């Protein structure tokens, strides 16, 4: 166990992750739309690249376990691959090649989390994992805010500067790979099965783990159902708000980011010291308040309050999402459990946004939020019997 070295290197990786997060979620789509005039299918694939990659994590983890490579070496390989794709695609100047490279990079980046969880489990003491990871997330939030400002100003000055923005993402991926490669790690436990999807069986073999996956799926679907609709709700004059671009950016990006920055370390402490089922209940309540409130108010002040609740829940949710399997997986199986979790995350990540945009064509935003809130409420109700099963 080498917590100090891992912590130092992971903080550096966290700083780089903020650049990658902002770039993949915002700038790549912006370039695809405004530079290459990408069609709806290309844009959908670009947005879905990360969820598609998450769906593939059980397969990639199976293949890595067969190689005998240390987790850190395998993890760095995905970062280096993404760096090469970003750097190459940035300067090709061809729409098809650009989109292919960016989609492939997004899929590659999605593979690292189960491997990183294996490293955390090996090197961080169980009583402090949440607090240690929270420091990396704080740095990630900080660099995300800075990069969104600098990258946005650069593209506002001249869209032709987009290769430099993506090259910065390539550098972030490359240095992430260097940092992860130096972390102490061990090879993954090789699966006895020849089925590359064998790890998915943990979802029903371990009833508590499977139940938590169902709860996470309900909460995640409810959240993702309305997450992309926040901008539509504020921007579309048909819904009565018709906010400016600056107001939309402030409420949907700045407010939750500031709340994440202010509360992430607090949530890390709670993760380490609090009963996980109670923690998950509290997080889901905050998500429920944010979802229902946001789509039932129309003043900017109340929208900001709802967005603050979302940021509060997201701060704790990020830590819980990254580490919760370490509380339930048998020793040495953390990466396999995480692969099942990321697989289910990818499934809902692909499906939910399409359902949300379809629902809003048939229902009002407030009605859509009630459906989404109902899914989150159901997840809260199911936590109590699952806790009794786990503790009984």
List pLDDT tens digits, range 143-157.
Answer: 988 888 888 888 888
pLDDT tens for each residue of 37-57: 887 778 778 878 999 999 999
Predicted confidence at residue 392, as pLDDT, reads: 67
Output the pLDDT for position 305: 97
Give the per-residue pLDDT at 191. 65
- pLDDT over threshold 60, residue 94: yes
Model confidence at 247: pLDDT above 90 = no
Q: Residue 198: its pLDDT value, please?
A: 73
For the ranges 92-101, 327-336, 358-367, the maximum mean pLDDT occurs at: 92-101
> What's the pLDDT at 240?
84
pLDDT at position 262, please? 92
More confident residue, 242 or 121: 121
Reported confidence tier of residue 134, pLDDT bands at 50, 70, 90: very high
pLDDT over 90 percentage in the chain: 56
SS (HEC) of the chain:
CCHHHHHHHHHHHHHHHHHHHHHHHHHHHHHHHHCCCCCHHHHHHHHHHHHHHHHCHHHHHHHHHHHCCEHHHHHHHHHHHHHHHHHHHHCCCCHHHHHHHHHHHHHHHCCHHHHHHHHHHHHCCCCCHHHHHHHHHHHHHHHHHHHHHHHHHHHHHCHHHHHHHHHHHHHHHHHHHHHHHCCCCCECCCCCCCCCCHHHHHHHHCHHHHHHHHHHHHHHHHHHHHCCHHHHHHHCHHHCCCCCHHHHHHHHHHHHHHHHHHHHHHHHHHHHHCCHHHHHHHHHHHHHHHHHHHCCCCCHHHHHHHHHHHHHHHHHHHHHHHHHHHHCCCCCCHHHHHHHHHHHHHHHHHHHHHHHHHHHHHCCHHHHHHHHHHHHHHHHHHHHHHHHHHHC
Say yes or no to pLDDT of 108 above 60: yes
Mean pLDDT on 112-140:
92
Instruction: Please report, for residues 6, 119, 319, the alpha-carbon distance to residue 184 in angstroms, rounded to integers and kept in the order given.
Output: 7, 7, 21
pLDDT reading at 115 higher than 60: yes
Segment 113-131 mean pLDDT? 92
Q: Tell me the longest C-alpha to C-alpha distance in the chain.
A: 62
Structure tokens that stand for 145 in this block: 């805010």
Residue 355 in this model has a pLDDT that exceeds 80: no
Domains and CATH numbers, the chain: 3-181 (1.20.1250.20), 200-391 (1.20.1250.20)
- pLDDT tens by residue, 248-300: 878 887 888 889 989 999 999 999 999 999 999 999 999 999 999 999 999 99
* pLDDT greater at residue 201 or residue 194: 201
* CB crowding 170-196: b at 16 or more within 10 Å, else e: bebbbbbbbbbbebbbeebeeeeeeeb
Cα→Cα distances 338→179, 255, 292, Å: 21, 30, 30
pLDDT of residue 103: 95
Q: How confident is the model at residue 66 (pLDDT cuts 50, 70, 90)?
A: confident
Answer with the residue of higher pLDDT: 317 or 352.
317
Closest CA to 9 of 123, 128, 169, 113: 123
Quote the pLDDT of residue 353.
66
What local confidence, expressed as pLDDT, does residue 179 receive? 98
If phi over 0 gives left and psi between -120 and 50 gives alpha, with beta otherwise, what is residue 330?
A: beta
pLDDT at 27: 85
User: Residue range 201-216: average pLDDT?
Assistant: 91
Residue 359 has a pLDDT of 75
Lowest mean pLDDT: which of 166-180, 195-209, 254-268, 365-379?
195-209
Average model confidence (pLDDT) across the chain: 89
Q: Cβ of 215: how many Cβ atoms within 10 Å? A: 22
pLDDT digits (tens, 9 = 90+) for 219-240: 998 988 887 778 778 887 888 8
Mean pLDDT within 308-316: 95
Return the pLDDT at 22.
85
């Amino acid at each position: 166990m080498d917590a100090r070295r891992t912590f130092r290197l992971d903080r550096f990786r966290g700083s780089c992750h903020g650049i990658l997060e902002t770039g993949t979620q915002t700038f790549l789509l912006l370039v695809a739309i405004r530079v290459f005039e990408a069609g709806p299918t290309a844009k959908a694939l670009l947005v879905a690249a990360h969820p598609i990659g998450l769906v593939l994590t059980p397969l990639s983890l199976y293949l890595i376990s067969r190689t005998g490579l240390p987790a850190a070496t395998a993890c760095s390989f995905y970062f280096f691959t993404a760096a090469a794709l970003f750097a190459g695609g940035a300067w090709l100047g061809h729409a098809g090649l650009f989109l292919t490279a960016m989609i492939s990079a997004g899929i590659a980046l999605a593979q690292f989390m189960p491997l990183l969880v294996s490293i955390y489990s090996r090197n961080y003491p169980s009583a402090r994992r949440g607090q240690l990871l929270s420091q990396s997330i704080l740095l990630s939030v900080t660099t995300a805010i800075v990069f969104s400002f600098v990258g946005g100003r650069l593209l506002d000055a001249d869209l032709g500067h987009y290769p430099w923005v993506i090259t910065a993402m390539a550098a972030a991926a490359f240095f992430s790979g260097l940092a992860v490669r130096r972390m102490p790690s061990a090879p993954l436990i090789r699966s006895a099965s020849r089925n590359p999807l064998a790890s998915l069986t943990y979802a029903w073999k371990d009833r508590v783990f499977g139940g938590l996956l169902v709860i996470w799926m309900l909460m995640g679907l409810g959240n993702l159902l309305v997450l992309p609709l926040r901008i539509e709700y504020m921007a579309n004059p048909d819904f009565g708000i018709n906010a400016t671009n600056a107001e939309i950016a402030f409420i949907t990006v700045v407010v939750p980011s500031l709340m994440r920055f202010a509360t992430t370390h607090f949530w890390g402490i709670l993760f380490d010291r609090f009963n996980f089922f109670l923690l998950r209940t509290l997080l889901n309540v905050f998500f429920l308040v944010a979802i229902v409130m946001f789509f039932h108010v129309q003043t900017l002040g109340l929208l900001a309050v709802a967005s603050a609740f979302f940021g509060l829940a997201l701060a704790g949710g990020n830590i819980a999402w990254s580490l919760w399997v370490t509380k339930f997986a048998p020793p040495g199986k953390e990466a396999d459990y995480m692969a099942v979790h990321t697989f289910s995350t990818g499934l809902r990540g692909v499906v939910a946004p399409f359902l949300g945009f379809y629902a809003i064509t048939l229902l009002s935003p407030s009605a859509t939020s009630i459906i989404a809130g109902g899914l989150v409420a159901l997840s809260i109700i199911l936590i109590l019997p699952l806790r009794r099963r786990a503790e009984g």
